[in-house]
Amino acid sequence: MVKPAPNLIHAILIAEPVIKVGPPPPPPPPSLPLVSSRNGNLFQGRNDPNLHWYLPDFNLAADVDPGFAFVASQSSQSEGGSPFNKARLTLRLHKSQPDDVVQFAQSNPDAKLQEISLAEMSANLSTSYTDDKTGQEHQKPFAATIEDLGNGDFQLTVDPLLGPEVILLYQDLTFFGKATLSLSASYQAWSQPGAGYLLARKQQLFESNAIVAMKVQTLSAPTETSAAAPRPFAAQSFIRKDMPSAISQRGGDTLVQTSQAWAKQLPIGLKYKQDRYQLKYTISTDTVTDHVILNANDLKDFSLSQSEFTELKAVDVSQYPTLSKLYMGVLSRTIVMVPKRYSVVRGRAGCAALCVAVVDSSPASGSRCRFEFDFTIAPEVSRIEVYKLQQEIKGRQELKDYKLKLPDFQRDSPPSTLETQFSSNIHIDQGALPQTFSVTVSIQDEGVQTPAVANANAFIMRLSSSTGADLIGSLSIKLDDGYPQPVLSTIDLNFAHTAGSDHEIDVQIVEESSEIKFTSQLPLDLLISRYALIKGSALTEVPTNVVLPAKGSLTIPLPPDHMDLTVAVDAQLVIPQQMAKSDTMKFLEIRTADVQETQYVVAVNGSGIDFNKVDSVEASITFTTLPNVTPRVLKLNTNVHADSTHIVIPLENAVFALPGTVNLAVHFSDPEISDLNFTLQNDFTASPVLIVLQSDIDKNLPKPQS
């Protein structure tokens, strides 16, 4: 190997050109908003004039907040012997664009928007109380943590609440409404030098388990030297620092990177007092878990409310028109459905409505009989609504293990009632079948002029009224021995409202014709208003308006997918628009125990007759169905405008139908006018008093000869 001469190598090295390398160009300043450009929640960008920064907005989550819970427990006692409570409060916040940012984006669809990142987020909840000694109002703060759940949602937690803090916050959330949530954070921005500002720190995002308290620091104007060491600042809780060399804008102005403060207060008010949050307030003891807090007394006493039941307001019962209220039993895990009304039961034998006529031997009785009406009533509840409610209950985590049921028992105080316009004895008791009740009404004479049969007729007319004159009362329902408030449901005795059973319609799937066959088990016609096809949690409701004849059948289409299909039907009795007394016999059974006949009053009223023209009227009444009954002639004149008489007739005629023909003999005051005879027809059961008008006489006068 041949080595080159040293002087040759030296020559080569000297011949190479020397390249001088200068300092690297400065990096572009961070892209941050300009403080001086702030307009509401909007800022212009430092580097890009087309970029618009904005501060986000935070609000309490929309109702119903799925993250809200006030969970208390009692496991020991305080020094004074009262329960020592512990509690944990959680609720959610939602981050969104403020209104002015939304409006700006709508007006400038091509604008570039970027959210400003908030760092060092912290929160505290405060409530107010009055000092026992001074009477002054004070604020009680509670430290909170925030967890980022994603999609703009954040969970705020206050834990633990101890001792009196639990009752203090509970009452503010549910009664006083003075609780306030305070949020604070910082964000990075460019600012003019010279004014006080916050030290720019390394950006900190929301922590998942803890919130770093914000350390507030102020800076002096920038210098060309490196940052000085922090030094204390007398009588202040922050530290003053020097800023590193500032960054100049193109125009020569100098900007400094700062950390700006952000804060927002959110008044809570009574947002979480709404009925839909009712189940979110719970307390547990060593013996009872997840008892719904009824009021502050449940937090003050070791013995929780004596009743296991509380009204369930978290479910919107207005979605179920045939239900009035719901009550939740936390021990039995049941939900009692209180119906909007109790009505007469209908079944295979017809309506559970009976009228019994018995002998009344009391001295005050003129007609010598009294009437006892017996009804069995049950909840008039839509089966379709019950299915829908079952699905809602199953879909709620806190209620999914609860079972629905109807009331079983009657409460003595306040007593159940039935309103009638006449004197009667009313007794309401448990029915022979579960969840039914019996109503007995006894009607007697009210003096000679108001016999029992007249009041019985008036009672029956209200049973069949189509004008809203139903017999109305209230059933006092017993939940358990400890529930303090009355629980009432309406009793409605009218054949237009009846309560059916689960077995009144037989449902059969006919595969050959792809139909569902409905067969009535009742001796009365039914009007089907709607039916529902149910498969698991899917419910298809079909409105209709078809008559299912007594003991008859009809069909509806069978859906292709009908495996495990359930059918629910809502129906009512077909009632004539104007029900005659004779129609009532289809719905009300009449029995005579030991009385076959009764005294009955028939009358004629001539107050509408012009007795200046008419001298007298004689009314003779005959009954086609009772030819042997002949009332005395009723006489009207100037001094006597009404006349009546008692007759003894079969009970059936007194109650249902007593058609009569009234022959009227009219004698005129003018002797030149001949006497007039004409007849009128009247059902003396429906109208015991026949009213005669002058027009009845005039239209029967002979027409003058032309």
Looking at residue 447, its pLDDT comes to 61
Phi, psi at 29, each rounded to 5°: -65, 155
- Angstrom distances, CA of residue 10 to CA of 16, 19, 20: 11, 19, 21
Q: Which two tokens stand for residue 525?
A: 């016609």
* DSSP one-letter string for 592-609: ESS--EEEEEEEEEEEES
* DSSP one-letter string for 42-78: EEEBSS-TTEEEE--EEEEPPSS-TT-EEEEEEEEE-
The 3-class secondary structure across 343-384, one letter per residue, is EEEEECCEECEEEEEEECCCCCCCCCEEEEEEEEEEECCCHH
CA neighbor of 188 nearest in space, from 198, 179, 176: 198
Distance CA 150, CA 603 (A): 85
Q: What is the H or E stretch that residue 298 is in? A: helix 297-300
Residues 6+ apart with CB under 8 A from 137: 128, 129, 130, 131
pLDDT in tens, 355-412: 887 765 554 455 567 888 999 999 999 999 999 999 999 998 888 889 999 999 999 9
| Comparison of pLDDT for 250 and 228, the residue scoring more | 250
pLDDT in tens, 589-606: 887 765 567 778 889 999
CA neighbor of 459 nearest in space, from 595, 584, 586: 584
Distance CA 530, CA 543 (A): 4
| Comparison of pLDDT for 87 and 81, the residue scoring more | 87
Looking at residue 588, its pLDDT comes to 92
Q: How many CA atoms lie within 13 A of 650 on its CB side?
A: 13
pLDDT band, very low/low/confident/very high, at 569 (cuts 50, 70, 90) = very high
Q: Which two tokens stand for residue 667?
A: 């004698």
DSSP letter (8 states) at residue 231: B
Looking at residue 360, its pLDDT comes to 57
CA neighbor of 375 nearest in space, from 344, 406, 347: 344
Mean pLDDT of the chain: 83
Looking at residue 304, its pLDDT comes to 55
Q: What three-state secondary structure class fits 273?
A: helix
pLDDT in tens, 120-148: 899 999 998 888 788 888 889 999 999 99
Spell out the domains of the chain, with CATH numbers in brackets.
Answer: 35-187 (no CATH), 311-495 (no CATH), 499-573 (2.60.40), 596-698 (2.60.40)
Phi, psi at 653, each rounded to 5°: -70, -35
Q: Please say whether the beta carbons of 409 and 338 come within 8 A.
A: no
Return the exposure string of 119-143: e unless at least 16 CB atoms fall within 10 Å of the residue's CB, then b: bbbbbbbbbebeeeeeeeeeeeebe
Looking at residue 500, its pLDDT comes to 92
Hey, what amino acid is at 284? S
Q: Is 355 exposed, middle or buried (0-12, 13-18, 19+ CB in 10 A)?
A: buried
Strands across the sheet containing 309-311: 309-311, 323-329, 334-339, 403-405
Looking at residue 214, its pLDDT comes to 35
pLDDT in tens, 465-523: 887 788 999 999 999 888 889 999 999 999 999 999 878 999 999 988 999 999 999 99
Distance CA 508, CA 517 (A): 5
CA neighbor of 321 nearest in space, from 405, 403, 384: 384
Mean pLDDT of all residues in 669-683: 92
168-172, 177-181, 303-307, 690-694: the lowest-pLDDT one = 303-307
Q: What three-state secondary structure class fits 479?
A: coil
Q: Which two tokens stand for residue 662?
A: 């009234």
CA neighbor of 702 nearest in space, from 676, 668, 669: 676
Distance CA 444, CA 628 (A): 27
Distance CA 399, CA 386 (A): 15
| pTM score of the predicted model | 0.61
Hey, what amino acid is at 432? A
Looking at the predicted structure, is the pLDDT value of residue 627 above 80? yes
Looking at the predicted structure, is the pLDDT value of residue 15 above 70? no
Looking at the predicted structure, is the pLDDT value of residue 547 above 60? yes
Q: What three-state secondary structure class fits 535?
A: strand
CB atoms within 10 A of CB 187: 23
CA neighbor of 486 nearest in space, from 380, 435, 427, 415: 415
Show the CA angle centred on residue 704, arms to residues 698 and 706, nearest 5°: 150
Looking at the predicted structure, is the pLDDT value of residue 204 above 60? no
Mean pLDDT of all residues in 108-116: 93
Q: What three-state secondary structure class fits 408?
A: coil
Q: What is the H or E stretch that residue 499 is in? A: strand 498-499
Q: Which two tokens stand for residue 41?
A: 């929640």
Q: What is the H or E stretch that residue 630 is in? A: none
- Between strands 180-191 and 254-267, the pairing is antiparallel
CA neighbor of 602 nearest in space, from 558, 632, 565, 567: 632
Distance CA 46, CA 32 (A): 6
Distance CA 672, CA 682 (A): 31
Looking at residue 484, its pLDDT comes to 87
Looking at the predicted structure, is the pLDDT value of residue 654 above 50? yes
pLDDT band, very low/low/confident/very high, at 22 (cuts 50, 70, 90) = low
Query: What is the separation of C-alpha 23 from the centre of its chain, rounded to a whole number of angstroms?
Result: 75
Q: Please say whether the beta carbons of 142 and 161 come within 8 A.
A: yes
66-75, 133-142, 367-376, 622-631: the lowest-pLDDT one = 367-376
pLDDT in tens, 310-354: 899 989 999 999 999 999 988 788 999 999 999 999 998 899 999
Looking at residue 19, its pLDDT comes to 63
pLDDT in tens, 245-281: 344 444 445 889 899 999 999 999 999 998 889 889 9
Q: Please say whether the beta carbons of 218 and 198 come within 8 A.
A: yes
